[in-house]
């Protein structure tokens, strides 16, 4: 089963450009490692703290993840990157946590409510926007097309907006 790891780094002042360029190079080179299935850079929203950057990595499985993080290539990168950033925060993502980028994810019940806030209107929109186009297709094909559209719209459009809108609520911690 694929393993997703989120890394958050706060770049030291004046080192932003150097870090971002070296990160882009390292991400490209990291695909030499056979177990790396994906890597993405998540920049801050406009107007947010520009010194924080997120990195999402996907590995084939735990063995490949461990081999990558124990590799000479990664250790060289980590030694260099640590001169440009504060210590990195690593966490493995499971399920909904992949949409909720922070060093401590919100409680699962909050993630579920936020996801429902994205899924329900998106499913209504897709039903009315594409339902009439897909009506003559067999049910499995309709569902496959709808699910594919749903995942794409949620991943790149809806959930980033929902998370931005609900950020304050999602990050409030119960003091008890």
pLDDT digits over 34-91, tens only? 888 888 887 765 555 568 888 888 888 889 999 999 999 999 999 999 999 999 988 8
Q: Is the pLDDT of residue 131 over 70?
A: yes
Query: Which residue's structure tokens are 């990050």?
Result: 171
Which two structure tokens, joined as six digits, stand for 115? 């996801």
Q: Is the pLDDT of residue 147 over 60?
A: yes
Q: Which secondary structure element, helix H or strand E, spans residue 92, and what is its range?
A: strand 89-93
| Mean pLDDT of the region 109-133 | 90
The whole-angstrom separation of Cα 42 and Cα 7 is 10
93 DSSP assignment: E
Q: Indicate the burial class of 135 (C-beta count within 10 angstroms; 0-12, 13-18, 19 or more).
A: exposed
Phi and psi based region of residue 14 (left: phi greater than 0; alpha: psi -120 to 50; beta: remaining) = left
What pLDDT is stored for residue 46 in this prediction? 55
Q: Is the pLDDT of residue 96 over 70?
A: no
With cut-offs at 50, 70 and 90, classify the pLDDT of residue 142: confident
What pLDDT is stored for residue 174 in this prediction? 61
14 DSSP assignment: T
Residue 163 neighbours by CB under 8 Å, 6+ apart: 99, 100, 101, 114, 170
């Amino acid at each position: 089963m694929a393993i997703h790891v989120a890394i958050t780094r706060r770049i030291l002042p004046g080192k932003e450009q150097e870090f971002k360029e070296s990160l882009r190079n390292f991400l490209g080179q990291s695909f030499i490692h056979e177990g790396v299935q994906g890597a993405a850079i998540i920049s801050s929203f406009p107007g947010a703290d520009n010194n924080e950057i997120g990195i999402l990595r996907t590995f084939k499985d735990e063995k490949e993840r461990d081999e990558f993080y124990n590799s000479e290539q990664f250790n060289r990168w980590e030694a260099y990157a640590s001169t440009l950033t504060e210590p990195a925060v690593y966490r493995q993502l499971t399920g909904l946590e992949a949409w909720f980028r922070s060093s401590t994810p919100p409680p699962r019940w909050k993630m579920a409510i936020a996801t429902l806030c994205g899924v329900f209107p998106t499913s209504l929109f897709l039903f009315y926007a594409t339902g009439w186009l897909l009506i003559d297709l067999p049910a499995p094909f309709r569902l496959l097309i709808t699910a594919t559209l749903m995942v794409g719209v949620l991943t790149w459009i809806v959930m980033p907006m929902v998370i931005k809108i609900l950020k304050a609520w999602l990050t409030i911690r119960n003091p008890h």
